[in-house]
Structure 1
Amino acid sequence: MTERNDHPWWERGTVYQIYPRSFQDSDGDGVGDLAGIERRLDHVAALGVDAIWLSPIFPSPMADFGYDVADYCDVDPLFGDLASFDRVLAAAHERGLKLLLDFVPNHTSDRHPWFVDSRTGRDSTKRDWYIWRDPAPDGGPPNNWISDFGGSAWEYDPVSGQYYLHAFLASQPDLNWRNPAVKAAMFDAMRFWLDRGVDGFRIDVLWHIVKAEGFPDNPPNPYWRPGITERDRLIQRHSTDQPEAHAIAAEMRALADSYGADGQARVLIGEIFLPNDAHARWYGTLDRPQVHLPFNFQLIENAWDAATLRTMIAAYEASLPPYGWPNWVIGSHDAARIAARVGEPQARVAAMLLLTLRGTPTLYQGDELGIGKVDIPADRVRDPQELRQPGIGIGRDRSRTPMPWDGAPFAGFSTVEPWLPLNPDWHTRNVAAQERDPASMLALYRHLLALRRTHPALSVGGMHLLDAADGVLAYERRHGDEVLRVALNLTQDAKPLPFAGTVVLSTLGGATSDTLRANEGMIFRPTS
C-alpha cells in the first residue's frame, strides 16, 4: 500500500455521534437540547475526538424523533433556535471540533409545507415533489414494497384516490428526487447550513433516495423467516440503490467540495447498508467522487469472534477502491450498544479494535462509559419501529437512553424524569465517577484516542493482518518507520501472544510477557 502524507482531517480524525434528545437537558423538560450540548462540549473535547455529528435538530412533529423533517432550514424549539445552534457551532470550533449535521433527504414529515401542498390534489404544483401512484387494478397498493417499519410502503389518500410512497412511517412520505425542483430545494437546504459554517453532513438512508422507474415488485427473500423484521421479507432491489442515486451523490460531493477552498474539507458520510461490492460503488470514481465515507456497519452486523472479524476485515479492505478510505462503527442510535451485545470485558476489546483499525472511527455517545443493556418497560417505549413490530428485538430506545453525567438526581442529565429511562447502574456508571477511576472505560477511550493522535501508524498507517492463536485477532499498523501491532483476545481464556514487543497499552492495565489474558487487547511496539 502506497503511503500518503496529505490525509484530510476526516481521514486522520474520529467522529463522535451525539443524540441531542439524550445528551444534556438544560431547560428542565426531560429532553436534551442545544444549550445542553454546548454545556458538555468540554467532555467531548477531552475525549480526544475531532468532530461531532448531531442527529436531527430540525423542526419536526417527532413521529420518528427528528427523522421526519418539517423544515430543513431551522431548529426545532425543543432543541433551541438558530442562535443556539450558532453558539454550539462556535463553541465546537473554539475547541477544535468539527460539527456535522444529520441530513434527511429521502423523506419529509407529512406536516412539511411541501407535502401539505402536495396532498391538496392532483393539480397541486407540489404534487410531483412526492411519489403518488394510482392503485393497482384490484384497488390495492401499486406494488408489493414493504416499509422498513413494517406494513405496506404505500398509503392511500381517499381524497385524490391515489397512494403515496413512504419507506418508513406513513407520516414520512418519500420525496421524488427525479423532479429537478426537489433536488434544487434540497441542495439549497444543504447550502443554508454550509453557509452557516457546518463541516459536513451525515446523510440518512442515502441509498434509498431514488426508486426504479415503473416501480416493479421487489423479489421475495428466500432466507426470510418469521421473527425477522417484515421489511426483510423482500429484497429491496427496486426500491433502493438505483444508478440515479449515485449521480445525485456525486452532485452532493461537488457541492461539499466547493466549500473546501479554505483548506478545510467538508465531509459527506453516507448511511448505506449494502454488500461490499455495492457499498464500495458509493465512493464514486476519481474523476466523479461521491460520498467521502459510506458508513461501514459490519462490526455491528457480524458475529463477535476472531475468525469472523478477520474474514470480514480482509473482505472489506479488498473491496475498497484504491482511493477509498475505510471507516468503522460499533454503536449508533439504531443499534444495541456494544457492551450490551458483547459484555463489558469485550466492550473494552471492541474499543481498542475500533480505534486501531485502518480508517475513520465513529463513536456513539455513552459507549465511552460502557453503558450496557437497558430494559425499557412497555409503558416507556417510544420508538415507532418497536411499537409497530414488538417482540423481535429491533427497538432503538435501548441505545437512546440519556447520558449519565454524575451522581446527582437523574444523573445530572435533567432536573426531572428523562424522556427515556437511565441505565440502571447510572449511580456508579457516569462520567464523573469514571473520571476518578484510572482503570475506567472512559480512561481507556481517552488513552486510545491520545495514541491515535500521537502515532500516525494508528491514524493513517497501512494495515496488515497477522497470524495468531484461535480466538485472537492480530494486525500490524505501519507508517514510515513507525510500526505498531495489535493483539485482541476475543475469548474468555488466556492465549499466547502472537509476537514479542514492548506493551504500549493493555485494555486491562499492566502486562504479561507471553500471554494475552482473557478479554484482553494489547498494542505493542515490536522488538526490533
Structure 2
Amino acid sequence: MQQWWRDAVLYQVYPRSFADSDGDGVGDLPGITARMDHIRDLGADGIWLTPFHPSPWADGGYDVADFRDVDPLLGNLDDFDALVGSAHERGLRVVIDIVPNHTSEAHPWFRAALAAGPGSPERDRYVFRDGRGTNGDLPPSNWRSTFGGPAWTRVPDGQWYLHFFAPEQPDLNWNDPGVRDEFRDILRFWSRRGVDGFRIDVAYGLVKDLDDPLRDLVLVDGGRNEDIAANPDHPLMDRPGVHEVYRDWRRVLAEFDPPPTTVGEVWLPAERRIRYTRPDELDQTFNFDFLLTPWDADAYRRVIDASIADAAAVGTVPTWVTNNHDLVRRVSLLGLPPGTDLRAWLLADGRDPLPDLDLGARRARALALLALALPGSAYLYQGEELGLPEVADLPPDALEDPRWRRSGHTDKGRDGARVPLPWTPDGPSYGFGEGGSWLPQPEGWGRWSVEAQQGDPDSTLSLYRRALARRGDFAAEPALAWDPDLNRGAVLAFWRGPEALVLVNTGPDPVDLPRGEVMVASTGLDRALPGDGAVWLRRPRA
C-alpha cells in the first residue's frame, strides 16, 4: 500500500499565531479546530503542529515542561483530541512536533536534577560537568550556544550544564537509559491519541561526544562553533549513536497500525542527511538545500537532481519546503536586490535594504508552482498561501525570540515570520481574535487576509487552491523528466507523467510559451511566460 506521506502536502501551523478562540491574544487549539476548513479547502493533506505543550515560552514552545500535556494558554488534552477528530473527519492527517534534544528548565526532571546535586541519577539525565580553571570558574569547554553566548550555564553548587540553545533549554543526556525509555513512552502516548506522525526537532543533535576531557571547537565568525563541514568528527552534531535512537523509535512506532510517520529536522550536508532516512530509520528529513536555494535556474536544477537522487538511494522521497517558522518569509527574501549579503541583512537592525515586495511576491508565486510540481512531499507554512511578507519592523520591546536577547540585540531573530495571521481585512487583530495579538500586526496587514483574497481569482490564496487541486493529476507520478528542448538558461522545464509540463522562468525576460491547456499559472499569460513566472501545461509529451 502506498504510504500516505510520499506525495502529501503538509500545512505547518504555529499554534500561537494561527487563530485565537478566547480573546487572550494568543492562538490556541480550539482556534485551529474552528479554522480547520481553511486547511481542508486549501487542499492540504494534513497539518503539522509546532509545540503546544506546557512551556514557559522562552523559545516559542520548544522549551517543553511536560511532553504529555497541552499548555493551558492553548487548551487542554480534550481540545487536542477534538482537533485530531476534526482533522480526521476532513481527511487531514496530524503530525506533531517532538523535542528530544532538551527540556525546559521548568521540567520536573531538571528541577529534580538541581535539587539532587552532583553525581546523582537525576543529574545523569542531563549534561552536567565540573568547570575548568581555578575553583571550576570556567565552562567545561568553549562550546557556544546557537543563540549566542556560551553553551554552558553554572548552577549554585558550582557545576555547569549544557544547553545547545538557550539556558532555559538544558540538553538531555541520551546516554542515560531513562531518557530513552521516557521518549519511547512519549511516542506511544501521542500515537494512542491518534497522531499520524512526528516532526523531530534538532534530530541530528541528540547524541554528543561527552567523553572527558571534552573537546574544544574552533570558533569562527566572532564566536560561533565551527560547522560539521570543517570538523567531520563534530562533538555536538551527527554522532554515530544517534542512528540507533531512530532505529529504536522505528520499532516503537511499528507497534501501531499504520505506524506514524517521521520527518527529521536535520541541518547537515546532503551526504550525511540521507543516512537518517535509511529504511530502518526516519521516513523523511526536511530538504534545507532546496529551502536555501537562490532564485536561479541552474541552482534549482542542481538541487532538484541531487535531492531526487539522494532520496531514491535510500528508498524515500524528497521533501520540498519554501518557508518555515525559523526563516525570513520567502516573499521578502526573493525581493532583495541582487548581491545582498543575506547573513548581514538577517542580522541588521531595521533590515535594510527593504525588499521589493512586488518582485518577491511574483517570484514566491512561481516558486510555489515549482515546489508543488516536484515528485515527493511538500510542506507549506501558514500564511505562505496568503503571500505574507516578513514583518521586519517589529518594535524591540515586542521581540520574544531568544536570539534577540542572546545576541546582545544584534540579531532580531525569527519573530517577523511568526506574526499572527490576518483573517479579515479589518477589525480586532484582523480576525485573529478579539483581544489583540501577542506579536503586533503591522498596519494594513488585512490586505493579505483570507477574507480579502477569498473571491479574487488572481490572489495568492486562489493560486494555491488551484495548484493543490490540480496537483492530484500527477502527484502520484514517481518520476521527473527534464524537457531536452525547453529546459535551458533561465527556464526550468520538466514533465510529470505523459501530459503535465511545468515551466518556471527565473529570468527577467518573457519566453515563448508552448501550446497546451493552462492548468495553473502564477501570472497572466499572453503567448509568452513572463519573467519570474511559472505555468503548468497539459499537453501530450512527444
Q: Normalising to structure 2: TM-score of the pair?
A: 0.89
| 1:105 equivalenced with 2:100 (yes/no) | yes
User: Please, which of 128, 132, 151 is the counterpart of residue 128 of structure 2?
Assistant: 132
SS of the residue aligned with 2:54?
coil
Q: Which residue of the partner structure matches residue 383 of structure 1?
A: 401
Residue aligned with 2:368, SS: helix
Aligned Cα root-mean-square deviation (Å): 1.9
Q: Is 1:336–2:328 an aligned residue pair?
A: yes
Task: State the SS of the aligned residue for 1:99.
Answer: strand
Structure 1 counterpart of 2:378, from 339, 357, 361: 361
Give how far 1:427 is off: 2.4
CA contact (8 A) 1:452 1:458 kept: yes
Question: Which structure 1 segments of 5+ residues have no match?
Answer: 1-5
SS in 2 for 1:363: strand
Task: Indicate if the aligned counterparts of 2:23 and 2:436 stay in contact, CA closer than 8 A.
Answer: no
Residue number in structure 2 paired with 1:220 = 218
Q: Shift in Å at residue 379 of structure 1?
A: 1.9
Q: How does 1:24-43 map to 2 (within 5 A)?
A: 24-43=19-38
Secondary structure of the residue that 2:461 maps to in structure 1? helix
Partners of 2:288 and 2:281 in 1: how far apart? 19
Q: Aligned partners of 1:414, 1:502: CA distance in 2, in Å? A: 42
In structure 2, do the counterparts of structure 1 residues 348 and 391 end up closer, same or farther at CA, with 3 Å as the change threshold?
Answer: farther
The CA distance in 1 between the partners of 2:500 and 2:534, in whole Å, is 13
CA shift for structure 1 position 200:
1.2
Aligned-pair identity in percent equals 40
User: Aligned ranges for residues 179-198 of structure 1 at < 5 Å?
Assistant: 179-198=176-195
C-alpha displacement at 1:354, in angstroms? 1.5
1:507 equivalent among 514, 522, 537 = 522
Matched, 1:290 2:281: yes
**Where in structure 2 are the equivalents of 1:124-523 lying within 5 Å?**
124-137=120-133, 139=136, 140-159=138-157, 161-214=158-211, 216-217=214-215, 219-220=217-218, 224-226=220-222, 230-231=224-225, 237-259=234-256, 261=257, 264-284=258-278, 286=279, 289-320=280-311, 321-342=313-334, 343-374=360-391, 375-389=393-407, 395-407=413-425, 408-453=427-472, 455=473, 457-467=474-484, 468-478=487-497, 482-497=498-513, 500-509=515-524, 511-513=525-527, 515-523=528-536
Q: Deviations over 1:358-416 (max 9, x none)?
A: 11100000000000131212121111112222666561001101010012221100112
Q: Using the TM superposition, give the Cα deviation of residue 313 of structure 1 relative to its aligned residue in structure 2, in angstroms.
A: 1.6
Deviation at 1:220, TM superposition (A): 2.5
Q: TM-score, normalised by structure 1?
A: 0.91
Residue 204 of structure 1 aligns to which amino acid in structure 2? D
Kept in 2: contact 1:469–1:495 (CA 8 A) = no
TM superposition shift of 1:43: 0.4
Q: In 2, distance between residues paired with 1:327 and 1:258?
A: 26
Greater shift after overlay, 292-301 or 56-65?
292-301
Of the structure 1 ranges 328-337 and 236-245, higher mean CA displacement relative to structure 2 is found in 236-245
Cα distance in 1, alignment partners of residues 290 and 483 from structure 2: 19
Give the aligned residue type for 1:447.
R
Shift of 1:298: 2.0
Tell me the CA shift for residue 232 of structure 1: 5.2
Q: 1:123 to 1:91 in 2, by over 3 A?
A: same
d(CA) in 2 for partners of 1:355, 1:394 = 31
Offset at 1:335? 0.6
Partner of residue 3, structure 1? none
Q: CA deviation at 1:218?
A: 5.0
Question: In the alignment, is the contact (CA less than 8 A) between 1:117 and 1:124 conserved in 2?
Answer: no
Cα distance in 2 for residues equivalent to 1:323 and 1:218:
37
Cα distance in 2, alignment partners of residues 274 and 427 from structure 1: 38
The answer as to whether partners of 2:505 and 2:534 remain within 8 angstroms in 1 is yes
How much does 1:142 deviate? 1.5
1:466 to 1:425, Cα distance in 2 relative to 1, 3 A:
farther
Distance in 2 separating the partners of 1:257 and 1:390: 46
Match of 2:48? Answer: 53
How far has the Cα of 1:525 moved from its partner?
2.2
Does the 8 A contact of 2:277 with 2:314 survive in 1? no
The separation in 2 between residues aligned to 1:316 and 1:12, in whole angstroms, is 15
Structure 1 window deviating more from structure 2 (39-48 vs 130-139): it is 130-139
User: Structure 1 397/232 Cα, relative in aligned 2: closer, same or farther at 3 Å?
Assistant: farther
Residues 258-294 of structure 1, C-alpha deviations (whole Å, 9 max, x = no match) = 21x2xx441111111010100100012x3xx111111
Shift of 1:65: 2.0
Aligned positions, number:
504
Deviation (angstroms), 1:107: 0.2
Distance in 1 separating the partners of 2:305 and 2:408: 36
Which SS does the other structure have where 1:58 is aligned? coil
Which is worse superposed, 42-51 or 235-244?
Answer: 235-244
Deviation at 1:526, TM superposition (A): 3.2
Amino acid at match of 1:483: E
Do the aligned residues in 2 keep the contact of 1:203 with 1:270 (CA within 8 Å)? yes
Shift of 1:338: 1.2
User: In 1, are the aligned partners of 2:403 and 2:411 still within 8 Å (CA)?
Assistant: no
SS of 1:243's equivalent? coil
In structure 2, stretches of 5+ residues that fail to align are: 335-359
What residue identity is the alignment partner of 2:424? D
The structural deviation recorded for 1:524 is 1.7
Deviation (angstroms), 1:340: 1.3
| 2:11 counterpart residue number | 16
State whether residues 15 and 50 of structure 2, in contact with CA within 8 Å, keep that contact through their aligned partners in structure 1.
yes
2:67 is aligned with 1:72 = yes
Query: 1:198, CA displacement in angstroms?
Result: 0.9
